[in-house]
Structure 1
């Protein structure tokens, strides 16, 4: 029931005092009002959580964006470095091919220089031989001047005899009978060695046989002398009918009368000891050089030559062998000097080219070393970039999960 003083509606009590000038009105809401602070606290906490989540998401999105940009930049740099490495490797291959080509050229040039040096050494040897021959020729000229008028041109004077040495370089070798016939045609005969002094002088004057690994009897060397046992075996007689009474100057084991037809003519093998130079050979079959002997002209002007106005005039036929030999030596000496000069110039050019090629090879090697260093640097950078790429991939996978 409702009165002026108190009303009740739906469990709520409204109290009204009418007797006062101001009225008092009281409302009772039961137990609902005490839960408002808790609701407010929950709403505040939820707002804070949402704010924190928004901040975290923003930070994560920023990092992911930056990582993506950095990764794209690193990938671009990686591709650029890979391209640079490819170009560097191509340049290295080209430099390697160029270096190989230069090495081949260097080897060929080295072989050419060695060949040129060998040719030059050969020319130098020939020049030295010619110089020795020129010295001997000058010596012969001195001997000729000393014996001028006593011996014919082409002959040499030793002690009290004139000798003619038939060298195989200018006159063909002959057998013993033909050699003696040649000496007789020159107004002389094959040499007769009367004593030790003559034997020693001839040994010193005549050219020595070169050393060889072959036995001396296989060298086809020797000089016929006027000594034979053709009339009585083992009785050696000189062509002036003088019998050799002492042992002579035979090589050990000589004379041996070797072969079915025997060996009946003597020759000189000019090597070793002057006391062991004679040996016997086959008179008809063997062909050798020979040595003629004649007495000098005591008047100072040999027959066949005459003095005129202070000069010695010699028949052309007598002077021809000497002139031929002299011209031959002069011609060969001049040709060899020219050949040596040309070889020297060629060698200098080859050495200059060799030096230039060597500088090119060193320059190419320096370039190659620089390219190799660049490649190693690029490889190290590529390794570092690949490592960074892997690290970013792991980070992205971590954030995604």
Structure 2
């Protein structure tokens, strides 16, 4: 029995040392300790739960529970082999979920990869690869706070997303250029597990759309259709850049979101609770998380250009709000004062601010800074 245990232990070490097995096959989390005997892949605990739910015929369990024959099967397969089998024709723009992504993205990724096997047959075209996509999504009204059914149309040819209040409407309610769009999944904020937020720029003004669809596949396919159209337009706009560089320009998750209190420019005004969104170098603040338009915006430039962030508030400043953990953000334009609910939140915001301020600016960043200075 001891010899058998030792053999199993050695096999586990061998399996974990193989290239590709150092991270979860589905979300990339390091140090996976679970695995599928059917697919021959290593998984993190969170993804193992998804596999059990979606692929019930799959035998999934912790590595320590595997028998020697099962470990040998895994040693003969592994994550690299599974990727070569199930991701043969996966489009470069298709979003691969990460550890902290929402549940619908992870679940639909597992379904697409193993159940529907969307990335195996090069002759089979998926819905997110079509030149025109039409469908109905639930959209939050800007003023009434109600989700209403709206028709959305996305055309690759003109690179625009349009939506209509009714089926027979000739004129769209809005026309959005895909190059300005940043779709992000926001289930907690929107209050629906399939909630999608689309942030875009129109006439140098930021606007948010809040959407959802009852079907997880439908909303994830919309998300990847937007990425597909954006990627094709980027290839035209930046022909000298490689695909990996273009991927960095595709939609991204916000660096951080949450509530802080903020005072006005006179510093004698009371601190008011605001919802903040940190998107690259742009810090936007809203009265409510589901506001269509931000109440204001702050650009975070480089430290050599007069930007800094530190703990606490200036001497003589009274924190007359509910929260007492202060942050001072200095910019060439003005000094911004915030307060956080806890020390942990204060530190997290400050770490994010300083990480940005210490990062060199790109030409696009300088253009953005100049634009905001003249607003």
| TM-score bucket (shorter structure) | under 0.3
Larger helix proportion of the pair: 1
Larger strand proportion of the pair: 2
Structure 2 length-normalised TM: 0.16
Structure with higher Rg: it is: 1
